[in-house]
Amino acid sequence: MIDTSPFDGLLLGPLPCPFCGNTAHVKNFSVLHETPAFVAFCETKDCVGRNSNKAFQTEERAITAWNTRAPDLLAEIKRQAEVIQELTLLLKEPVLENLDD
Ligand SMILES: [Zn+2]
């Protein structure tokens, strides 16, 4: 994890979305839940960063989590992209065989 302690929380605000570069927001969903539930998310409609479902008790914690989670998620996405690429290559052969019939 990246040490961002000098820049934590409200002072810095949420960094731009690591996936699309758009602005990120923090919203308190405590109306839906009984306890405070701050969630940071990207404002781009179909972005991966839009579906942030981790809620925190303070705005500062939500921002800190948003600002420090990108490396892990990006690594996971790259890993999944490699798996998809491998599966796509495996699927190409049977499809071509079917076209030849
Ligand atoms: Zn985004």
Pick the residue with more confidence: 75 or 5? 75
Q: What is the pLDDT of residues 6-48, one digit of tens each?
A: 445 556 789 998 888 999 999 998 876 678 899 999 999 888 8
CA-based nearest residue to 19, from 39, 45, 38? 45
Kindly give, in sequence order, each residue whose CB lies less than 8 Å from that of residue 32, ignoring residues fewer than 6 positions away: none
- Rounded to the nearest whole angstrom, what is the distance from the C-alpha of residue 88 to the centroid of ligand 1? 26
Q: Rounded to the nearest whole angstrom, what is the distance from the C-alpha of residue 98 to the centroid of ligand 1?
A: 39
Q: How far is CA 55 from CA 24, 61, 64, 100, in A?
A: 15, 9, 12, 52
Neighbours of ion ligand 1 (CB under 5 A): 17, 19-20, 22, 42, 44, 47, 49
Which structural domain, as residue segments, surrounds residue 43? Answer: 5-100
Total domains in the chain come to 1
pTM: 0.57
| C-alpha 101 – ligand 1 centre gap (Å) | 44
Q: For residue 56, list its beta bridge partners.
A: 38
Which residues in 30-66 are b (16+ Cβ under 10 Å) and which e?
eeeeeeebbbbbbebeebebbebeebbeebbbbbbbb
Ligand 1 centroid from CA 19, angstroms: 5
